[in-house]
Structure formats: structure tokens, C-alpha cells
């Protein structure tokens, strides 16, 4: 298997380096537009994200939790000709063969996905997420640890779900919406809005996810 370069040197990026190693992949280092190259403790920052072309034998993952930022980075890399994104699924993950996973998705330890589920490009499912039957998780969604998605849930592009949240069966979270930590969503969420509480209610608006 080809070595992995992680784009994003935040705490989540370092967690994804660990995920890659757990998947039996070697990690060359990190690319980050906000940090100068060099050794950072036990880690090597190789350069800015535009230097991906210097690593022709590697594959890449974008480890940026914010869906809006992650999409901007991926779209720029796509425009530069990047065609070497890889998908990482921790060996502890339980899922049926019917689950479809898109390019660049990152599925962390302890997750469970049952049957007839679609997971899009560059989706993040953090630790111990459960995904129910017939769920659709579109591109650039971020799901934080310990989230429970009931069956027939749809998370449209750019949705973010906070740690420990739960979503009722059949609910749709529209593009760019966010459910706060510990929230319980029982009704559909409108686009580009933050919902908090149990039951979750609108809290504030967000910039459009475009």
C-alpha cells in the first residue's frame, strides 16, 4: 500500500495519522498551509498543501474538521489535478457489504454502519458513531464522536453534527446545517442553521454552504 500524507496538522490531523497507522499504512508526514515545514515534536510537516505534487508515490487525506474549510481545500486540490485521495476505515468498524463509501472518507475506530447506507466523498465519521439503515450522508459531512443516527436519516452536504447528538428516524438535515453537542433532533433542519438542545431548536444562522 502507498504511504499516506495528511493534509491538516491540527489535533484531528494527528488523530488521522494514528488512524492511518491502525489501517496498516505508513505516514510520510503532514501538509499545512499555516505552519512552516520542519519537525514538530514527533511529526514532520512537509510543506504547504500545494506541495502535494512533490510526493507522487503517496496518497492523501484531508483531516480538517470544519466542512466549509475542508471543501475549499479539496476543491482547490481537485483544480490542481489531485487524483490520489484515499479512504481510511478503522479495522474495528462494523458495516454491511451494502454500505457505499466515497473517496476521501475517514471512518474512525468504533463506528458501526448497518445496511444500505451511502457515505459521500470526504465525509468524517469520528469515534463511535452509529449509522442506521438506509441513511444517506452526503459529501463533506462531519459527524463528531458518539453520535447516533437512526434509520432513514439524510445529512446533506456540509452538515456538521456535534459530539453525543442523536437524530430521529427519517429526519433530514439540510445542506450546511449544524446540530450542537448533545442535541436531539426530532424534526428536519433548515439549511445553514445551527440547532441546539433537546429537542433541538434553531439557534442562529450560518453562511451559505456553497
Q: Which of 126, 124, 101 is nearest to 111 (CA)?
A: 126
Residue positions annotated with a catalytic role:
133
Q: Evaluate whether 47 touches 54 at the Cβ level (below 8 Å).
A: yes
pLDDT score for 140: 98
Tell me if 210 is assigned to some domain. no
Cis amide linkage into residue 199, ω under 30° from 0? yes
Q: Are residues 104 and 184 in the same domain?
A: yes
CA–centroid distance for 187 within its chain: 23
Domain count for the chain: 2
Q: Are residues 114 and 73 in the same domain?
A: no
pLDDT digits (tens, 9 = 90+) for 7-48: 999 999 999 999 999 999 999 999 999 998 998 888 999 999
Residues ≥6 apart with Cβ < 8 Å to 170: 150, 151, 152, 153
The answer to whether residue 102 scores a pLDDT higher than 90 is: yes
pLDDT digits (tens, 9 = 90+) for 122-131: 999 999 999 9
Q: Are residues 18 and 75 in the same domain?
A: yes
pLDDT digits (tens, 9 = 90+) for 152-188: 999 999 999 999 999 999 999 999 999 999 999 999 9
The Cα 6–Cα 51 span in angstroms is 12
pLDDT score for 208: 86
Q: Are residues 95 and 177 in the same domain?
A: yes
pLDDT score for 6: 98
Tell me if 70 is assigned to some domain. yes
| 17: alpha, beta or left? (left if phi > 0; alpha if psi -120 to 50) | alpha
Q: Are residues 37 and 126 in the same domain?
A: no
DSSP β-bridge partners for residue 154: 136, 172
Q: Are residues 51 and 94 in the same domain?
A: no
Average pLDDT on 65-89 reads: 96
Tell me if 201 is assigned to some domain. no
pLDDT score for 40: 84
| 46: alpha, beta or left? (left if phi > 0; alpha if psi -120 to 50) | alpha
What kind and span of H or E run contains 27? strand 27-31
Q: Are residues 118 and 71 in the same domain?
A: no
The answer to whether residue 147 scores a pLDDT higher than 70 is: yes
The answer to whether residue 210 scores a pLDDT higher than 70 is: no
166 phi/psi in degrees, rounded to 5: -135, 145
Residue 151 annotated as binding site: no
Average pLDDT value over all residues in the chain:
97
The Cα 117–Cα 133 span in angstroms is 6
What kind and span of H or E run contains 70? helix 67-79
Per the structure, the complete domain to which residue 22 belongs is given by 4-79
Average pLDDT on 63-84 reads: 96
CATH classification at residue 68:
3.40.50.20
pLDDT score for 72: 96
Q: Are residues 49 and 104 in the same domain?
A: no
Q: Are residues 92 and 147 in the same domain?
A: yes
Tell me if 22 is assigned to some domain. yes
Amino acid at each position: 500500500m502507498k504511504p499516506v500524507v495528511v493534509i491538516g496538522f491540527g489535533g484531528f490531523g494527528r488523530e488521522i495519522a494514528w488512524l492511518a497507522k491502525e489501517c496498516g499504512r505508513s505516514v510520510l508526514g503532514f501538509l499545512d498551509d499555516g505552519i512552516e515545514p520542519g519537525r514538530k515534536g514527533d511529526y514532520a510537516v512537509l510543506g504547504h498543501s500545494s506541495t502535494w505534487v512533490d510526493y507522487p508515490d503517496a496518497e492523501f487525506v484531508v483531516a480538517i474538521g470544519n466542512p466549509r474549510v475542508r471543501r475549499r481545500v479539496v476543491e482547490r486540490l481537485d483544480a490542481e489535478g489531485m487524483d490520489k485521495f484515499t479512504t481510511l476505515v478503522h479495522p474495528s468498524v462494523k458495516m454491511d457489504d451494502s454500505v457505499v463509501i466515497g473517496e476521501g472518507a475517514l471512518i474512525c475506530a468504533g463506528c458501526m454502519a448497518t445496511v444500505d447506507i451511502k457515505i459521500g466523498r470526504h465525509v468524517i465519521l469520528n469515534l463511535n458513531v452509529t449509522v442506521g439503515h438506509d441513511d444517506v450522508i452526503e459529501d463533506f459531512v462531519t459527524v463528531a464522536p458518539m453520535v447516533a443516527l437512526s434509520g432513514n436519516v439524510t445529512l446533506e452536504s456540509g452538515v456538521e453534527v456535534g459530539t453525543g447528538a442523536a437524530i430521529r428516524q427519517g429526519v433530514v438535515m439540510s445542506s450546511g446545517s449544524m446540530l450542537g453537542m448533545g442535541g436531539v433532533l426530532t424534526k428536519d433542519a433548515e439549511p445553514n442553521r445551527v440547532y441546539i438542545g433537546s429537542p433541538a431548536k434553531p439557534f442562529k444562522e450560518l453562511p451559505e454552504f456553497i
